[in-house]
Amino acid sequence: MSLTLDQLDAKARGILIDNDRGGYTIPTSGLYPYQWNWDSVFAAYGFATFDMARAWREMRSLFSGQWENGMVPHILFHKESRGYYPGPDIWAGIGPIASSGVTQPPVAATFIRKMYEAAPAEGARHLRDLFPKLKRWHGWFMKHRLHRDAVCVTHPWESGRDNAPDWDGAMRRMVIGELEPYTRADTAHVDPSMRPTKFDYDRFLWLVKLGREARWDEVKLAEAPAFRVADPTMSFTLLRANRDLEVIAAHLGEDGSEIAGWIARLELGCQTLWDPDLGAYTGRDALTGAFSGALSNASFLCWYAGLGNAQMLAHLRRVLSEVSYGVPSHDPSAEGFDARRYWRGPVWAIMNTMIGLGLAKAGHAEEAETIRAQTARLISDHGFAEYYDPLTGAPAGGHDFTWTAAVWLAWVRKENGRD
């Protein structure tokens, strides 16, 4: 029996509450037992629809793990969980809270701005406290992670798109040494056909080992990098986040001139991700200069960043005509498309949300509404999964997933979430 919209709203709120661990929210029970960076931001986006105080606690919790150099880790290990690998002992993060050693897409400023503007009186104190932390994090990217003024990842996990085709060339080139024997925890919770392969995982763990041995010193890691790819996810989300941080600075009466300079650099840098052969934005290996040749859902974050063009719109319309439920993580016409393997084909509600928000702001209302309506149908028909088959809608990955519930409440269902 299908649920009514009111029942789906209640279910979504219940997922957020059930995944609350006392000030921070896990993505889902079992598979992801800690606080993840961009998952946490989307959790706050969802909480803000019915408990704004709880939303602000989520953001404060995330930034409580900020490192001295400004980096905000992709995982905060608040409490031990033996069922997750690699855990805090493998990462050996150097922050105030046990953490991983890499970051994730910087979406926080964008959604913090939304939270503040939805309830300025309640958010003023939080905004003032968080602004310097946000600026330090963005400054860390600008200091350590630019190549030709696009933002690089030094580990595929940083991008949030762990096994995306953007990394294939760099991963194949990587020479890895001996690893300690390990047992993956993810495949105990999810069908291995939906997860990254062992080839991928060996390289993921090799990069963790290199980072740990360097004590996560960005200067040392940049001297002889094993993996450094200019990433559309990072580049577009940081450009958008800097635009929002500049507005936050204005709200607070702070000087936004440095942020304006960052925006100008990134606007130029994002254009270095344009592959003329593909006719689209894609990943670029910073070590070889080679483009990945992959058209992904990250490519379509260009409008979210305030960019975009007619060629990208044509790609989007073609991709939407080939699937049923929004924007897949890889071009369905491309070789290697896999409708159920993590970031090599499945559709993700959070990516649909950011793409839809960007399209709407750019004036592409029809495409934005198509993606929103398809996301609504996807969730209402197939539940609150981590990701989905874009052809059939079949749920995949974890279930009762925080960020899917959050964007249902904040964007799919709320009128004021569509701008």
Do 218 and 153 touch, CB atoms closer than 8 A? no
CA distance 338 to 312: 22
CA 382, 384, 385, 391 torsion-angle sign = positive
List the Cα angle 244/312/310 in 5-degree steps. Answer: 100
User: What's the one-letter identity of residue 237?
Assistant: T
Distance CA 230, CA 251 (A): 32
Q: How far apart are CA 41 and CA 402, in angstroms?
A: 10
Enter the tokens of residue 327.
């924007």
By annotation, the residues acting in catalysis are 162, 386
CB 151 within 8 A of CB 231: yes
Nearest to 187 by CA among 331, 403, 398: 398
Within 8 A by CB and 6+ apart from 112, the residues are 44, 59, 127, 130, 134, 244, 248
Question: What is the Cα–Cα distance from 75 to 89, expressed in whole angstroms?
Answer: 13
**What CA–CA distance (Å, rounded) separates 347 from 375?**
9
Q: How many helices (H) and strands (E) does the chain have?
A: 16, 10
